[in-house]
Amino acid sequence: MRSSLIPKIPPHDVHLFDILALSRWHSQVRYAAAQIASANPEKFAKAHGEYVRTHFKNMREVAAALSGMNLKKAYTYLADVQDHKQVVPFRRFAGGIGRASQAKQFKTTKGRWPEKSVRYILRLLKNAESNADAKELAVDDLIIKNIVVQQAPKTRRRTYRAHGRINPYQGHPCHIEIFLSTPSAEVPRATDLDIATRSSKKGKKVAAIEA
């Protein structure tokens, strides 16, 4: 075959796919709840961890238990979980989870004490608290406004068994993001609940007619 028939690849296109893949792998993930802090970013403190090597399902249940909790109360709760004085309720990923009497206070029956997930989330909470302190937010009044846990790409390994068998040996890491903020001013409750109820029903009827 003549050399003139062999297509020539420009130097700048060599390994272009590998370069794009690496840049995509190392690029910082966007916050899933970025719109929460977009209006008043100075009132929010955030922290996130990528490819955290702890079980996604355990971390998700820990995050669900902490959502909306006061930061100081969250520290106390997580310390109790580490000492097995309180339990993390498992509601969504509860297949094969044993029952625990400590789960009664959460109005459920299943729970665990995922110590590794608690250690990672404590580090992120302290990081977010430091960011809040740098923004001069009232640390004692901080609440966990939003906390999101997402699955990360699984780490694939193999374990070698008897009789020549090979089984998958995978890890299930996760991405975590935390938003802290001070509680906003509460809207005063309506004095006449009957008027509020009638107005809401009237609005629903008008919307149904227009639809």
Structure tokens, 167: 């089984």
Contacts of 26 (CB under 8 A, 6+ apart): none
Lowest mean pLDDT among 50-59, 116-125, 198-207: 198-207
Q: What are the residue boundaries of the structural domains of the chain, listed by start?
A: 37-185
Mean pLDDT of 19-45: 64
Contacts of 68 (CB under 8 A, 6+ apart): 143, 144, 145
Cβ-in-10-Å burial (0-12, 13-18, 19+) of 204 comes to exposed
Predicted confidence (pLDDT) at residue 31 exceeds the cutoff of 60? yes
pLDDT at 8: 46
Contacts of 95 (CB under 8 A, 6+ apart): none
Q: Share the mean pLDDT of the chain.
A: 82
132-152 pLDDT per residue, tens: 999 999 999 999 999 999 999
Beta bridge partners of 177: 48, 148
138-191 pLDDT per residue, tens: 999 999 999 999 999 999 999 999 999 999 999 999 999 999 999 876 667 666
The residue that leads in pLDDT, 15 or 47, is 47
- The model's pTM is 0.71
Cβ 33 vs Cβ 41: under 8 Å: no
- CATH superfamily, region 37-185: Ribosomal protein L22/L17 (3.90.470.10)
